Structure 1
Amino acid sequence: MIRRLPVIPTVVVLLAVATMIWLGVWQLQRRHEKEAAIVILRANPAKPSVAFPKLPPVDPELMFRRSSVHCLRVVGWREEAGRAADGSVGFRQIAQCSTGAEGPGVLVNVGVAARANAKTNWTGGQIEGWISEEPDHRSLLARATGETVPLRPMLIARTPAPGLKAAAPPHTEDIPNNHLAYAVQWFLFAGVALIIYIIAVRKRLMPPPPSAS
């Protein structure tokens, strides 16, 4: 009996492998884009201050620029692991501010606490700092596949709220550029998937052992 190559499974596997290779190539392109953006970011802190962006995503031309916001009142708090300007690690205190009757409000990193669940009596007001983005909580798979979730702009306060340390100013070293690693992963996934399928097909196409007479 002649065994033939299974058409539908082969097409499915080849499409999956092609998709993984395309994702790898796309990540390589993203790497070059990120490198170009980092060049811009390095120069931004020395540029004149600009108006704080209201909506995401934050344009690379605005990231790390000096800016200011007026927090009418604090409507909530978020706590994230982070680093202070003196190099110590702790918990960033991120205030969710209202800026008016309408609009999305703003996020302000008002400083770093040495311990979790710290309290500060900061209730708002005019505050200056640098434009950044809120913490990125996307999974590794979401980042590797390029799933886009616009991150809201966040101001890193130059002067900390009472009882807190000043947060570390934004720096290009904090911007991950893992696109080469993601590309290598996708190419490896494609290669492994193809090898496994070839082995499976070879076993399927092997003639059956002769039956004992």
Structure 2
Amino acid sequence: MRRIPIFATIVVLAAVGLMVALGFWQLRRLHQKEGLLAHYAAAKGNPAPVAWTARGPGDDLLYRRSQLECASVGARSGIAGRNAAGESGIAQTARCTLPGGGTALVVMGWSQQPLAGEGWRGGPVSGVIAPGPRLVADPPVAGLQANAIPDPSELPNNHLSYAGQWFLFAATALVIYVLALRRGKTATKA
């Protein structure tokens, strides 16, 4: 009768324990993410605007309406985006300097052309706070088309599938180890 290798067994059991712990951690993250998404959905439904400060809004204000005064426009760029009709194109952005100090990234609007809306020199902007944080102008500025309004339901919540993967990895590691032990026993008998 062959003895079970102690060091290898400890290593495999430690790895399995770690994978199971990661699976339970993902289940806890699932519940946290569900709470966060519920908070964002409630924020989206709240019509009262919040102030955009020099430090920018915190994550607790995402998906709320806000407004700011763009005292001057700095760097401009375009990022992939969708318009209100769901068409793909370019969301035109500008880095705004705020009157009291600080900056804000403003998504001015949408177009199919790069660097559209270059004539915009700033002014009042209202819209929805999106992750980043950035203010998605609603209505758009600089003669651009409306962007798709940020929607928290588009945020992924994959934690249940991640938990399942970790539990599956742990089970797979145990099965492989047991098969390796059996194979080792049959090899020593022959």
TM-score normalised by L of structure 2: 0.82
Structure 2 residue 40 is the aligned partner of structure 1 residue 15:
no
C-alpha spacing 1:11/1:78, structure 2 compared with 1 (3 Å):
farther
Report the alpha carbon displacement of residue 163 of structure 1 after superposing the two structures with TM: 4.6
Counterpart in 2 of 1:67?
A: 66
Please show how residues 201-212 of structure 1 align to structure 2 within 5 Å.
Answer: 201-210=181-190
Report the alpha carbon displacement of residue 71 of structure 1 after superposing the two structures with TM: 2.7
More helix as a share of residues: 2
Count, aligned residues: 187
C-alpha spacing 1:5/1:90, structure 2 compared with 1 (3 Å):
same
Counterpart in 1 of 2:125?
A: 127
RMSD: 2.5
Counterpart in 2 of 1:175?
A: 155
Query: Which runs of 5 or more residues in structure 1 are unaligned?
Result: 135-152
Counterpart in 2 of 1:88?
A: 87
- SS of 2:157 mapped into structure 1: coil
- SS of 1:208 mapped into structure 2: helix
Report the alpha carbon displacement of residue 88 of structure 1 after superposing the two structures with TM: 1.7
Matching residue's letter, 1:191 = A
Query: Which runs of 5 or more residues in structure 2 are unaligned?
Result: none
Please show how residues 97-136 of structure 1 align to structure 2 within 5 Å.
Answer: 97-99=96-98, 103=102, 105-115=103-113, 117-121=114-118, 122-134=120-132
CA deviation string 1:84-138 (max 9, x = no partner):
11222222223233336964x22222222224x333213333211111103xxxx
Report the alpha carbon displacement of residue 66 of structure 1 after superposing the two structures with TM: 0.9
Matching residue's letter, 1:106 = A
Give yes or no for contact 1:5–1:205 (8 Å, CA) kept in 2: no
CA distance in 1, matches of 2:130, 2:110: 16
C-alpha spacing 1:192/1:50, structure 2 compared with 1 (3 Å):
same
C-alpha spacing 1:56/1:9, structure 2 compared with 1 (3 Å):
farther
Report the alpha carbon displacement of residue 57 of structure 1 after superposing the two structures with TM: 5.5
CA distance in 1, matches of 2:5, 2:57: 48
C-alpha spacing 1:184/1:161, structure 2 compared with 1 (3 Å):
same
Give yes or no for contact 1:64–1:130 (8 Å, CA) kept in 2: yes
Matching residue's letter, 1:58 = D
CA distance in 1, matches of 2:12, 2:57: 37
C-alpha spacing 1:197/1:83, structure 2 compared with 1 (3 Å):
same
CA distance in 2, matches of 1:193, 1:73: 59
TM-score normalised by L of structure 1: 0.74
Matching residue's letter, 1:158 = D
CA distance in 2, matches of 1:204, 1:80: 57
Matching residue's letter, 1:51 = A
- SS of 2:3 mapped into structure 1: coil
- SS of 1:123 mapped into structure 2: coil
Report the alpha carbon displacement of residue 82 of structure 1 after superposing the two structures with TM: 2.0
Report the alpha carbon displacement of residue 172 of structure 1 after superposing the two structures with TM: 2.8
